[in-house]
Chains A and B, each alone.
Chain A
Amino acid sequence: MTILSPHEFYSDPAWHGFSGKAVPKPGAAERTARPLTPRRLGPGGHLFGPVLVLAIWELASLTGLLSPRLLAAPSTAVVTGYDLMIDGVLQQHFLASAERAYLGLAIGVALGLILALIAGLTRLGEATIDGLVQIKRAIPTLALIPLAILWLGIGETMKIALIVTSVLVPVYINTHAALRGIDLRYVELARTVGLSRAQFIRRVALPGALPGFFTGLRLAVTMCWTALVVLEQINTTEGIGYLMNRARDYGQTDVIVVGLVVYAVLGLVSDSAVRWWERRALAYRKVIGS
C-alpha cells in the first residue's frame, strides 16, 4: 500500500541474496557470476550526488564561470547563513514560517483524517465528502488564492486556511483508500467474533488504515512548506518566503540559497521524523525484514 523509496526498495533484505556478497568460493566459474541488481550503497552513499554538485558549483564560482549575480557560491551562502543566524534574523523568519506551516499541517492532517474516516466508514459520508475532496484535489491550491483573499483577507487566516486545504488532500486520499481496501477477510472475522461497530473501527479499521495514513502524512509534511513559499509573498514581513523575495529585490543570491537550504533541510528532517514514527507505529510489519 505504501510506496517505497528507492532506498527502502533496495534495502529490502530480499535483495541481499543478490548483493554479490556471497561467501567467496574457489574457482573462477563461481566468481564470474555477476549480480543482477546493483550492490547496496553504504551509509551516506546517497550523499555522493549532492556533494558532487556542490563541488562543481563551488569550483565554477571560484573560477568566475558562475557570476554571484546569478548564483552565490556555496561558501558565501554558508557565511551569509551564519551571519543571519548570529543576528537572529534567520531564526525569526524561520519561526514565523514554521508556525504557519505546522499549524496548517496539524489542522489539515486532523481534518483529512476525520473526513477520511467519515467517508470510509459511512455511506452518507462517502456520498457527501468523497466527491468534494476529489474536486478539491483537481484544483491547485494556488488557484484558490484569489478567492481565499476575498473571503479571509490577506492575513494569517488566509495563509493557514490554504495550507490546511492543501495538506488535507493527500491525507484524505491515502487514508480513505486504505480504509476502503481493508481485507474483507478481516471484516468476516470481526463478524464471527461478534465485534460491535465501535470495536470493529478500533480493532480493525483504524489499524488497517494506518499505513495509508502515514503515506498521506509523508506527502503532507513536505506539501505544507511548498504552499508557504508562494503564500509568503503576500502581505507579510516575516517568514523564509518573505526573506527570499526581499533578497531577490536586492539581488542577494546568497540569501536565496540560504532560504533554499532551509527548505531542503526542513523537508528532509520532517520526512525522517514521519518515517521514524511510521516505523514505530507499524512495528508489526518490520518484524521479519529488520
Chain B
Amino acid sequence: MTLLRLETTESIARPVAVALDGLARGFGRRPILDGITLSIRAGEFVALIGRSGSGKSTLLRALARLDDDAERSGSLDVPAKSSVLFQDARLLPWARVLDNVMLGLQASDARTRALKLLADVGLAGREAAWPETLSGGEKQRVALARSLAQAPELLLADEPFGALDALTRLRMHALLFQLIGKYKPTVLLVTHDVDEALTLADRVLVMEDGRIVLDRTVDLPHPRRASDGRHENLRRSLLAALGVYA
C-alpha cells in the first residue's frame, strides 16, 4: 500500500502527456466544448464523467483527431501514438481475430505482438475466429488487444464497457487495470459509471456543458472497495457534481 502511494506521488513528477489550452469545439456555431484547459501526465489514468450530451465524446474525439468536421479553436498537444477503444468493439467482420488485432501494425514482429496481446486478454487460441462468432465481452477484449497492440502512449476509451452486462463489466475492469499496469499508457476513459471511474482512475474529471467542473484526484489504494469511507465520500461528491444527491 505504501508502495502504491509512492507511485502516485511519483506520477506527479512525470512529464505532461496531454495538454489542452482553451480547447473549444462547436458544430454549426453551436459551442460544445467551451475552452477546456487541462493537462494529463504520462501514465495517469483519468476518468471523464458527465451527463449525456455534456461533450465527453466530443472531447475524446478531439484528442483522437477525429473531428475535422467541427469548428475548432484552442491548442491541443497529444502524443503521436494514441489509440481509441470504442463502445462498439468495431472489429472488421471480414477479418479474423488475429488480423483485426494486427490492423495497422507495420513492424516485422506484428504477428508475435498481436499473438501476445491476444494471450494477454485471455483469447489465445481464438486467433482464427470470425468476430461474429465472439460474445460481446470477447469482442471488446479483441478491441482492447488491438488498441494496446498499437503501443499507444495515450489510450482513449469512450464508454468501452457500456454495452456489456454488469458481471462482464467487472471482469473487464480487472483486465483493463491489469493491462494498463503492464503497458503503462496514459489513459482517458469516458464513462457514465461513477463506480467504474472510482475503481480504475487516478483522477476523475466531471464535465458539464462543455466545461470541466470538477477535477478530483483519487488517492486510494488498489484494489478499491466501496466500503472505504473516503471512497464513499468521493462517490458522493462526484454524484453531487452530476446533480444526483444520494
Contact = CB atoms under 8 A, between A and B. Distances in A.
Contacts of A287: 130, 132-133
Interface in A35-80: none
B94 A192 contact: no
B213 interface: no
A185 B90 contact: yes
Contact of A284 (B65, B94, B103): B94
A259 B68 CA distance: 60
Interface in B146-172: 146, 150
A16 interface: no
Contact of B95 (A185, A203, A285): A203
B104 A193 contact: yes
Interface centre among B82, B86, B92 (most CB of A within 10 A): B92
Give the residue among B66, B86, B94, B103 with the most A Cβ atoms within 10 A: B94
Interface in B84-129: 84, 86, 88, 90, 92-95, 103-104
Most buried by B among A192, A207, A210, A284: A192
Contacts of A282: 94
A185 B88 contact: yes
B64 interface: yes
A282 B162 CA distance: 30
A204 B133 CA distance: 20
Given A193-B104, A287-B133, A207 B90 contact: no
Given A203-B95, A203-B103, A288-B132, A191 B66 contact: yes
A284 B130 contact: yes
B140 interface: no
Contacts of B90: 185-186, 189
Nearest to A188: B66
Interface residues of B, number: 21
Contacts of B133: 287-288
A128 interface: no
Contacts of A24: none
B146 A193 contact: yes
Contacts of B64: 192
A204 B146 CA distance: 16
Interface string A175-210: 000000000011011111111000100011001101
Interface in B34-75: 64-66
Contacts of B92: 186, 189, 203-204, 207
Interface in A143-202: 185-186, 188-195, 199
B83 interface: yes
A203 B131 CA distance: 15
B132 A284 contact: yes
Contact of B84 (A192, A203, A208, A210): A192
A195 B66 contact: no
A192 B132 contact: no
A188 B95 CA distance: 17
A195 B83 CA distance: 12
A208 B130 CA distance: 15
Contact of A192 (B83, B88, B93, B95): B83
A215 to B, nearest CB: 16
A199 B65 CA distance: 20
Contacts of A204: 92
A193 B94 contact: no
A193 B64 CA distance: 11
A186 B83 CA distance: 14
B139 to A, nearest CB: 13
B182 to A, nearest CB: 20
The 3 closest A-B pairs by CB, nearest first: A193-B104, A207-B94, A192-B84
13 contacts: A185-B90, A186-B90, A189-B103, A192-B64, A192-B83, A192-B84, A195-B104, A199-B104, A207-B95, A285-B93, A287-B133, A288-B132, A288-B133
Interface of B: 64-66, 82-84, 86, 88, 90, 92-95, 103-104, 130-133, 146, 150
Interface of A: 185-186, 188-195, 199, 203-204, 207-208, 210, 282-285, 287-288
